[in-house]
Structure 1
Amino acid sequence: MSSRWTRIRSGRCATVAGLSGGIAVAVGVLMPTMAGADTFVPLPDGSKAGPGVTLSRTGEHAIVSPSMAANGAGRVVWVSGNAAADVTVTPEGEVGPTNGPAGLPGSNNSSTHGASQLNTGYLVGCQVSIADDAIGAGVSGGVSTGGVSAGGSIGVNLGPGEVKFVQIDYKDILKPGRYSVEYQDAEIEIQGCAGYAQARAYTVVEIIGDHYSKTTLYGAPFSIG
């Protein structure tokens, strides 16, 4: 494997930037040197059109490593990508207080927040194949789901058959325009999964108003060991 993808992660930083706001947030993640090689996973671009919006994801990739815990039930993945929404139609919203349960998907969405919104992150599953049909069947069929607010480093505990949403970031949409969330080496650490694990990106745009719509773009599933 090329030394380009074999990294020493001392002083590594994860960056999340909302391009329409022009603000970047860098969170330092101090990590000692890790043994073993990284696995670089290139992921395809994607797009999807919905009512009043076109979603796209570009430049997505993942770097998978064994967990420092070295217990056979843990692993670490660093994810990068750019999720964008070209919004042509939306009522003017108002950013209000978060009324939903803290840390759960939906606590910052339009149903509790009062504005249209772009939201992006990852579905992470243990011994679950996260295909298109499995997402809907799993959620409606009672597969355990949860949410983790993302900063520079996110810890996720997963048991067999569990799927969790890991939010990377969101962007309020107050008027038509282009909105984007760009993230680089955001770290997700999975513990408790002794079987195989998979992850898959999601990007959701909700448009508020009389003609409410919700458009979701999923990325390609990939193995995290």
Structure 2
Amino acid sequence: MNVSTIGLRRGLKTAAAGSAAAIALGFFSAGAANADTFVPLPGGTITKTLADGTVVTVTMTGESANISGSMGATPLHRNVWVSGSAKVETSGGASGTIQPGYIVACQLTLGGKGGADTGMSSNWEGEGVKQTAKSAGNMSIGPGQAVDYKILDLEKADDFGAEQHRAANPYKGNGSVTWADSTLGVSGCAGYAQARSYVKVTVSTATVTSNVTLWGQPFSIG
């Protein structure tokens, strides 16, 4: 995923290694978790009446997050284990799918370039920070990005026997889904990171097709 950056040119005339060391001090102020931290979350409920009178209720319960030290073991890495349960109840025998997931966002990304032999880049989705410093270069810092982590990965063969993957569970009338200790990881994030759960439900009746989304409470992951 490409990230646009904003150049910082305020007196960055020192060697690239020195600049990187100075910025690294800022990473530690982001407060990446070094010990497991359990975060109970309130879940929630939402009720919507469709145009044909069908009543849809989406509820999330037992939601929690356990923030733990990442194997990357640097302030650029985050790791959290999430659990919860969601259900959908409809009147009139509606059908559809229920899909849980999390939006995970990073505050800042770091990058830079100083000619053919010097570069610093960041990809917080998994590659982390790579640096080669052979001469002075310009550093840049830019806005982070939000990524949609889908909790479910349901495998099913299609009509031709090929493997399909789905992130939503089908239901008819009522349905539910539970997840336990699903891991969300962030690498190369040069600032605070935050996550927020959601449950996205599609509803189909004889006359109406609609979507209902329940959002959980945002929480910091360091």
Q: Same fold (TM over 0.5)?
A: yes
Displacement after TM superposition at 1:182 (Å)? 0.7
SS, match of residue 169 in structure 2: strand
**Counterpart in the other structure of 2:16:** none
Paired residues, what number? Answer: 140
Secondary structure of 2:105's partner? strand
Q: Displacement of 1:213 after TM fit?
A: 1.2
Q: Which residue of 1 aligns with 2:150?
A: 167
- Structure with more of its chain in strand, by fraction: 2
2:40 match: 42
TM-score by length of structure 1 reads: 0.57
Deviation of residue 161 (structure 1)?
2.4
Describe how 1:72-151 pairs up with structure 2 within 5 A. 72-89=75-92, 116-127=96-107
Letter of the structure 2 residue corresponding to residue 61 of structure 1 = S
Could you report, residue by residue, the CA deviation over 1:28-75 in whole angstroms, capped at 9, with x for unpaired residues?
Answer: xxxxxxx94201111013000023310001010101123111232111
Distance, in Å, in 1 between the alignment partners of 2:93 and 2:189 is: 41
Does the 8 Å contact 1:90/1:208 carry over to 2? Answer: no
Counterpart of 1:21 in structure 2 is none
Q: Which amino acid aligns with 1:70?
A: A
Is 1:69 the counterpart of 2:72? The answer is: yes
Superposition RMSD in Å = 2.4
8 Å CA contact retained: 1:55, 1:85: yes
TM-score, reference length from structure 2: 0.58
User: 1:60 is matched by which residue type in structure 2?
Assistant: E
Are the structure 2 counterparts of residues 184 and 156 from structure 1 closer, same or farther at C-alpha, using a change threshold of 3 Å? farther
SS in 1 for 2:191: coil
Unpaired runs of at least 5, structure 1:
1-34, 93-115, 129-154
Gaps spanning 5+ residues in structure 2: where?
Answer: 1-32, 50-54, 109-123, 129-141, 153-167
From the CA coordinates, give the structure whose radius of gyration is larger.
2
Distance 1:87 1:224, change over 3 A: same
Question: 1:172-217 deviations in whole A, cap 9, x for unaligned?
Answer: 12x212x111111111111121110000000011113531211110
